[in-house]
Amino acid sequence: MSTTMSSDEEEFFDDEYDDGFEQDDSMDGNDSVSEPDIIDVMSPSIEDAPAKKPYDVAYKVRTMQEIMEMQQKEVRKVQNLLEVPASTAAILLRHYAWNAEKLQEQFWNDPARALLEAGLSPPSSPSTSTVLLPPSSPRHPVRSIRNTFSPARRTRSIPAAPGAAALASAFECSICCVDYPKDQAEAQTLALGCGHRFCRTCWTEYLNGKVQNEGESARIQCMENGCNRIVREEIVDELVTGNVSKKYHNLLNQAYVADSPSLRWCPHARCDYIIECKTPRRMLNNLVPTVTCNCGRDLCFGCGFADNHRPVLCKIVRMWEKKCADDSETANWLQANTKECTKCQSTIEKNGGCNHMTCKKCKWEFCWVCMGPWSEHGTSWYQCNRFDERSGIDARDTQAKSRASLERYLHYFNRWANHEHSAKLDADFYKATEKKMEQMQNSGNLSWIEVQFAKQAVDVVIRARITLKWSYCMAFYLKRNNMTELFEDNQRDLERAVENLGYSLEQNIGDTGSIAKLRQDITNQSAYVQKRHDILLDDTLRGYLEQRWQFSVEV
């Protein structure tokens, strides 16, 4: 985003702010400005994608040009309200993460502090310029163009109006130590409002490094050591060009999207669209905000997941992915298939049929079945008749619980993974279906539209499998009650319908004997799968709003 203003606007003085930004006595500085407690999900400002059901969210797909226009609009509003230059308004908004209400509250409560924290006010000490002094003077540190602090030539700071003293005579840049005659100093050097002047060559190299190497944009500071003055956007545009300038503005736009809770980048490759959704974050506990980008792909606005994970809440998706990815299940397997020596707690795996175990580490002898000392088994030899002895009950209980927990996890994980794998196979089958559609079209003298039923059926199967996949994730965390049984009934009905349709597609799609009958059969099954799919989603998502679901974890 670019704004236009004269170069004189960079020169700020304390008295300028005292005169121009006096706090209005009619405004109560203690009144905080907060967002409304209730924000309408069906925001009228996002009318292009109206919500159709209570659990759907209204959203709009934005282009980069629209994002830039949104920034400019907000800058103009703050500029007019606070009566500041456009560049000042932009820096203030970026400092307050584009929260105009918070900015106004802080600004009217304490204008000087708001400007200082945003990097706009001059230093508390008099503004200075760096001028050459005799070699005996102490070194004056400046911020290096490589973002380190390096000693310049022997200089010292003397009071002066911002940017004025250095232009009264020849100027030496305190970074590169190049001398500029009086008649060239103004054209070849540059100072921010803080008055710290350096040559344009050093400024350009410094800004290139900040953008290219460090990825900075909105908070690039003055090169002077300890000065937090922010470099205006116009200064950067004047000094950097080409790919650096392009990257700089891309970084500004990325920061704007990242700061806004109502904006999110489409996560899919080679897509530059941005999704705008006004649904408050606090409502996401009861919603799964799935949206469709203009690139044709689904995503979750709540967590940024690059697909549709309905009917599962974002928090549960994160827990499930972590559970599947970390080593916790490996530990469960070890606990279920190995045991610890009751003496030294070393892990032991049974590799034979004998229940008489001897720990290789401490030589302790115990029974694999009851975990009790082997010496208590007497003449029972390798048949344990002490299974209920107290010495082994705790160990057996822990073992049984671990095994049951692992079996339960694997039950849901295997079905989750199976539907994920099947959806990928169905996507591959989709390509083969297109060839068979051509065969049906040629053999039956049908139009291209008349054979689209096969393609549409594959689409229905893939969508249903994705929903079934995530339904097993949800089922894993659900507490057992009557509502859970209803959920599993809907899940079972959808799964059965999907498998029947999938089988019909694989076995019969190549049969060109009776295309009319095949089309009718596939169409009917597709409609039934879609119906069962809608029933499962509708009941589950409404259940969140009605708070019918109880989970074994906190959501």
Residue 271 a catalytic site member: no
Chain-centroid distance, C-alpha 170 = 52
Chain-centroid distance, C-alpha 7 = 38
Contact indicator for 464, 428 with CB cutoff of 8 Å: no
Task: Give the SS3 label for residue 153.
Answer: strand
d(C-alpha 440, C-alpha 509), whole Å: 9
In sequence order, what are the residues at sequence separation of 6 or more whose Cβ sits closer than 8 angstroms to the Cβ of residue 391? 370, 371, 372, 373, 376
Q: At residue 84, what is the residue type?
A: V
d(C-alpha 439, C-alpha 512), whole Å: 8
Only one residue has tokens 């115990």, namely 366
Contact indicator for 190, 197 with CB cutoff of 8 Å: yes
Q: What tokens does 28 get?
A: 């109560």
From 262, 267, 310, select the one nearest 469 (Cα to Cα): 310
- Backbone torsion region of residue 341, taken as left when φ is above 0, otherwise alpha when ψ lies between -120 and 50, otherwise beta: beta
Give CB contacts under 8 A, 24+ apart, made by 3-9. Answer: 3/72, 3/75, 3/86, 3/87, 3/90, 3/233, 3/234, 4/86, 4/234, 5/85, 5/86, 5/87, 5/234, 9/85, 9/87, 9/88
In the 8-state DSSP scheme, what is residue 493?
H
d(C-alpha 496, C-alpha 492), whole Å: 6
Is the four-CA dihedral 461, 466, 471, 472 of positive or negative sign?
A: positive
Catalytic residue among 354, 362, 384, 473: 354
Rounded to 10 deg, the angle between the 515-545 and 452-477 helix axes is 30
Q: What residues are labeled active site? A: 354
